[in-house]
Structures are given as structure tokens and as C-alpha cells.
Structure 1
Amino acid sequence: MASDLKEKGNAALAAGNYELAIELYTKAIELDPNNHVHYSNRSAAYAKKGKYQNALEDAEKTITIKPDWPKGYSRKGTALSFLGRKDDAAKAYSDGLKFDPNNQQLLDGLKEVKQSQPSFGSSMFPTEGYLKLAKDPRTKNLINDPEFMKLLMDCQRNPQKLIMHMQDPRISAALSVLMGINLMGDDEKPGDDEKMETESPPSPPKPKREPTPPPEKMEEDGFTEEQKQAKAEKDLGNEEYKKKNFEDALIHYNKAIELEPTNMTFYNNVAAVYFEQKEYKKCIEQCEKAVDIGRESRADFKLIAKAFSRIGNAYKKLEDYKNAKTYFEKSMSEHRTSEVRNIISELEKKIKEEERKAYIDPVKAEEAKEKGNEFFNNGQFADAVKYYSEAIMRNPDEPKYYSNRAACYTKLAAFDLGLKDCEKCVELDPKFLKGWIRKGKILQGMKKSSKALTAYQKALELDSSNTEALEGYRSCSIAANSDPEDMRKRAMADPEVQDIIRDPAMRLILEQMQNDPKALNDHLKNPEIASKIQKLIESGLIAIR
């Protein structure tokens, strides 16, 4: 039923499993497409996932179905706010307050929108601009990209950032669509990212006019004598760097800087030496100097990106993953590459793991479990899931929290989630009796009597007199033998069983077991064969006496 799917979706949303929540709400909508609550809940899940355009579409559908329901307007306001459409968000909250003037959620949302800084969206970036972006093939995928929407909102709040990010092809594409002109230029093919910089030095800034000194004499090739000498020193430094003579390389690079202090390449090269010497803080300082010099002399954005990446790598070596991610993101804002994007993804995983470990607190875990127990005893199972999930995050190695959450999922008929928690529970503690019993009950509910029988058998090995395990074992035995033909049909529909039956080697082994029961002991010594035989026993296709 749609209501059951909605409850499962609520439980998944409370547990932070947004993808599953969206999937369950979608199934509920398929069964009951005129229920406004399903669209509202899916809008919330999309917003949590960062898919704000999808969240807006569901909020608008909610309002279409039930225009006098305030929560629909709250969902719409939230989605519009995240999309940077502050004026539209304020209107959505105001429209909702017409139906419920004292609704705190709408009042808070309206207050937050009004207090936020005015964006340049009202003039430079009109509301209808978002519709243009959503429809144009060059930008329609960007609307659902949380990273891009965050960047766009930053630019709205601070127009100076728009200038800083003009090199970002996403911003160029967006402005091209909105302004109706091509700002993107020809596609560039990035060159190989060499270890050392070998680009020609940029032209120095024009010197200030002085009344007495004559203008500097330029050579025929456009470089001054100092620039030529600087390049020669850099080349010597590169040779020493390749030989890992880092101190000598530093001498040459520093001479190059003395001769031409406005060329950021030389600072980058000094930073590369410090990185190899594991002098990571010195490396960072040099890269920061390089970026400042590069900004002043309008250096190639790829060089600036390289400096930011080197800072990121230095912080990564120092295991300061948050700062590393920040500087790799700065590198991406200058020049986007798949390599840097992959590094950012790896860093996000490391940061998440660090945060997970920092969040662990067994005392707070017990407090969350007790709150979960209260909600469970009051029949508020979705709320109980939320607190048991908090307990698990606070202490992920405690099996009883998984067992308790599995009990909630069972009450919500979310058997697949409950089974997953039971398996985690007995994995953490194979002697956790209640975990095996709960697993057996869930498998019974899923009509998998043979597998439930195995779970109850494990429980009875731990406590042969346990009443729940005995009753479960008896009822599963009766169910497994009540209709052998039906049991065989279900077993043969299992792809894993089909593969075992089709395996010529297994068919030969089964024939041997039938003709010579003693051969079973020899075959069970092979773990792979033993696993397949156990699967056939659980499915009810064979019995061993």
C-alpha cells in the first residue's frame, strides 16, 4: 500500500538514506498519484540530496493538488531559496501565510530570506534566467549540480566573485545563455601537466614613467637581458632538480627570482623543491607568493591552478584534509581537470571518515538509544529509527543499536532494511542471541522459511532452551514442509540456486552424495562446495540426515 511505502520512506529519510527515501516515495506516488503528502515528502528528500530543481517541481505539484496546505508553500520556499531565487522564495512563504498566518515554519523561512544579503539576481540575474538555464542544452544539467548552484549563489551575494570565476566554463556558459552572446570561446585542449613549469615567462608589467632613466633597451626577440639570464638560471635549476640536487636547484631558482621577480613560474619551482624536501609549510608560503605575483602580472590561469594544487598536495601531506580540499577547489575554479576532481572526491571521503570518528561518543550513543526506546514503546517507530540511527553514528560498533533499529524496521514492514541491520548486528557479535532471533523473524516475514530456519538454528546453538528460537524453528519447519512443491518453485526461481544446479561439477558431487553418503564429509572440507551445499539445504532442494 502507498501508506506503507510512505512510512518506509519516512524511516529512510530519518536515517539519512535519501536515495532510498526518494525511491520509496516515488513508488507511493505511482500507487496514489493524487496524494499531496507523497510529493511533499519527496520534495524534502530531494532537498536533502541537493537536487533543488526536483524539490521545487514536487513542491509545485503539492500546491496544485492541495493549494490550501501551508507545508506545500514551505517546501516551495525552501527549494527556491536554495536555487538562489530569494524574491520568489519570499513570495512562496507569503502565499502560504495567507492560509495559516501563524505558521512558524513559514514565518522563519520568510524572515531568513529577507535577512539574507540582496543578490544581484534582481537586476543582473533575473528570476526568469533560471528557466533559461533549465531549458538551454548547454546549462540544463548545471541546475541540478549542487556545486554549481552554490557557486552561483556566492556570485549573487558578492558580484566580485563573478569576476574571479569568469574563467570557470560553467559560469561562462550560464552568462552566455542569459546574455545571448558567446563568452566561452573555442574549446581549449589542456596540455600535459609537467612536473616542472617550462612556460615562457610572461611579459613584465609596464614600468612607471620616471623623469630621468632612459627606457630599458629590448633585444630583438622581445626579452630583456635580465629575462634571458633568469630563464637560463631556471633551466639550470631544472637540471639540478631532475638529478635531485635540491639545494643547488634552489640556488638557481632564487637567482632567477632576483633577475625577474614578476615571473610566478620561478616561485612555483622553488615551491616544488620544498615539497620534495618535505618542507610543506615553506612550500605553501612559496605557492601563495606565486599566486599573488601571478595575479599582479596576469599570468596564465593554468599556472595559478597549479600553484593552488601544490598547496592542496602540501596540506594533504600534512593530513589537513579540509584545507587541502579548499585549495584543490580553488585550483578547479581556475582550471578544471578530471584529476583534481578525483582528488577532491577522495578528500571528501577522508573528511567524512574523520568527522565520523570525531562524532563517536558512547555516552551520547546510550542517551540516543534510551530516547529511541521511549519512542518505540509509544509506537512512534519512524522517530525511534531516527534516534537509533543517531546511536549507531555515535557508536557504530555496538550490535544492540542495529538490533533495536531492525525491530523498528520490522514494525514499519521495511524488512529489507531490518535484515541488513540484523546481518550487521551478528557480524559485529556472532554470539548476539537477539540478533539471530530478529533475523529469523524478518526472514519469516519475507516468506523465506529455509533461511529463517538457519537463523533460528544459530540462535539455538547459543541457547538451546530459548522459547522464541524454539517456536520460530518449529513454525519454519512446518512451513518449509507444508508445501514442498511450492518451496521447490521458489528455490528454482533463485538465480544463485539456478547457477549451482547448472554447474556440471556440482551435479556430479550431488550424484556422489546420493550414491555414497560418506562422500559428503570429504566435499564439505572445501569451503566453496560447502557454501553451495548449504544454499541448497536452505532452499529445501536437498536434505541431509
Structure 2
Amino acid sequence: MPTTTHRELEENFLRTPSKVDDIMKFLIDIGKAKRADAAKDDPEVEINHSAAITDDNFMVLSRNSRFAKKNKLSIRKSSIGSIQLNQLSFMRQIDVSREDRIKAREERIRVASNYRRLGNVEYRKINFEKAIEHYSKGLEYIPDSPVLFVNRSLCYIKKREFKRALIDLDYVILNLDGRCLRAWLYRAGALKRMNNEAGYLDCIDNARRYNHSEEQYIENFIEKMRTDL
């Protein structure tokens, strides 16, 4: 009796690839291919990193470490450069000795005095505008000179520019020399010509208060004011 051998009972399948395995592998490959195609067809979604930012939430809490390190390095270099520059300026100031500063001021005083003399010459010529120019140039060298301010104010008074004269005189009294006799008297003269009698008398009182030894000079000024008006 012939023996029937089923193919499934043969041991050859152990030595040959399984068709089930082939089918499963094929299905897996198809699935991978579909997913890859779907990924290609899907448009790139651009992420808007600023969507969550509002008026009340705008602080940057983190940043790319590479750029952060670079920025920190730049800031550090800039700060060091600024400190070195300030130190250099400070050392240069120290190098200027007290004697050098005194000499420089003496030279400025010399130049300002020359302008004052030129202004006085023009004043005597009744060229008040030119005199004002010379006094003003002198003040560029010595901006704290009461004499130059007072002389310039007298030119303004002669030109009947009383308000400009008062500006110079008030600056002298308030900032340079509160006892300056000529400043008080010229101020009195300007206010008198502006018909400010109370202001005129107040200036005369202050001139006397701060300059007791100049009483005769003050009286001569008052008399001159009476004859001029």
C-alpha cells in the first residue's frame, strides 16, 4: 500500500524560507512605504514661536547657548574696554599737576585781560557794541570774571538795553561776588532808568551794607544819577 506523504510533514520546510514570513515582511514593507509617502505629501507646518507671546508675557527666558556665550563674551570685552578707557582718562588727569593748572589759568587770565583792555578802549570811543564783543571774548577764557561781566553790563546800560544788563549783574551778584559794589550800583542805575524806584533803593541799601568804606563813592554815584535823569 503506497504511503502518502503530506508536504506539510516534510522536513524540507525547515531548510527553505517560509512563505508566511515572506508575506509578513512584504506587508511590513508596504506599511513603511505608505507612511513615507504620507510624510512627503503632508505640508511642512511652520511653528509660530511668537503665538503665545502677549503684552504681559514677552520676556525671553532662554536662548541658544552658543549665541548666549558669544553675546556674553562681546559684552565682557566691551565692558573691559570701557573700564580701560576710563582708567586712561583718569591717569591723564592725574598727570596734569597743580602747577600746570595754575600756569594754564594764568595764561587764560592774561588773554582775558588783553580783551578787557581792548574793550575799555572801545568803550571810551563810545563804540559800545565793539566793546561788548571784546568783553564777551574775554569771558570765554575766564567765565568767572566779575569785572568783565560788570563792564559788559555798563555797555548794555549805555545802549539802553537794561534787561540784558540786569542779566549780567544778577549773575555776578548771585554766583560770583555778592558784595560787588559796581554790580549793585549799576543794577541800581538800570532799575532807576526803568522807573523801578523800589528796586533802585534796594540796590543802594545793599551797596552800603556790603561796602561801608565806600560811602563817599556811593554818594557820588547817587548824585550823578540825579543829574543824569
Shorter-chain TM band = 0.5 to 0.7
1:271 aligns with 2:100: no
Does the CA contact (< 8 Å) of 2:153 and 2:165 recur in 1?
yes
1:466 partner SS: helix
Q: Which amino acid aligns with 1:391?
A: G
Q: Deviations over 1:366-400 (max 9, x none)?
A: 11111101100111100000000011111011111
Distance in 1 of aligned mates of 2:224 and 2:134? 33
Alignment of 1:445-456 (within 5 A): 445-456=193-204
Instruction: Give the match for residue 324 of structure 1.
Output: none
Distance (whole Å) between structure 2 residues aligned to residue 444 and residue 317 of structure 1: 55
Pick one of 206, 213, 218 that aligns with 1:469. Answer: 218
How far has the Cα of 1:476 moved from its partner? 9.0
Matched, 1:235 2:37: no
Task: Indicate how the Cα distance of structure 1 residues 384 and 464 shifts in structure 2: closer, same or farther if over 3 A, else same.
Answer: same
Change (3 A) 1:475 1:383: closer
What is the rounded CA distance, in whole Å, between the counterparts of 2:217 and 2:159 in structure 1?
Answer: 21
Q: Which has the larger radius of gyration?
A: 2
SS of equivalent to 2:74: helix
**Contact preservation (8 Å) 1:443, 1:449:** yes
TM-fit CA distance, 1:469: 2.6
* 1:361 match: secondary structure: helix
User: Which of 250, 261, 280 is the aligned partner of 2:82?
Assistant: 280
Structure 2 segments unaligned to the other structure (5+ residues): 1-43, 45-62, 90-103
CA contact (8 A) 1:453 1:473 kept: no
Residues 317 and 237 of structure 1: CA distance in aligned 2, closer, same or farther (over 3 Å): farther
Distance 2:123 2:143 in 1: 20
1:145-544 alignment, distance < 5 Å = 235-237=64-66, 239=68, 249=69, 253=70, 270-275=73-78, 277-280=79-82, 361-427=108-174, 428-461=176-209, 462-463=211-212, 465-467=214-216, 469-470=218-219
Structure 1: distance between partners of 2:134 and 2:214: 33
Q: CA RMSD in A?
A: 3.6
Distance verdict in 2 for CA 1:476–1:387, change over 3 Å: closer
Q: Contact conserved, 1:456 with 1:470, CA < 8 A, in 2?
A: no
Mapping 1:52-63, distance limit 5 Å: none
Distance 1:453 1:460 in 2: 11
Following superposition, the deviation at residue 423 of structure 1 comes to: 1.1
Q: Is the 8 A contact 2:189 2:225 kept in 1?
A: no
For residues 475 and 447 of structure 1, what CA distance do their matches in structure 2 show?
A: 16
- Could you tell me how far 1:238 is from its partner in structure 2? 5.3
Q: What TM-score does the superposition give when structure 2 sets the normalisation length? A: 0.55
CA distance in 2, matches of 1:474, 1:378: 25
For residue 109 of structure 2, what is the amino acid of its counterpart? P
CA offset digits 1:227-268 (Å, max 9, x no partner): xxxxxxx821555xxxxxxxxx3xxx3xxxxxxxxxxxx7xx
Amino acid at match of 1:470: E
Highest RCO, 1 vs 2 (Cα 8 Å, sep ≥ 6):
2
Q: Shift of the alpha carbon at 1:281?
A: 8.9
TM-score computed with the length of structure 1 as normaliser: 0.24
Which residue in the other structure is 1:190 paired with?
none
- 5+ residue gaps, structure 1, are 1-219, 221-233, 240-248, 254-265, 283-314, 320-356, 478-545
Query: Displacement of 1:362 after TM fit?
Result: 1.4
Provide the C-alpha distance between the structure 1 equivalents of 2:153 and 2:80, rounded to a whole number of angstroms. 49
Letter in 2 for 1:439: R
Identity of aligned residues (%): 20
1:318 Cα deviation after fit:
7.5
2:111–2:138 contact (8 Å) kept in structure 1: yes
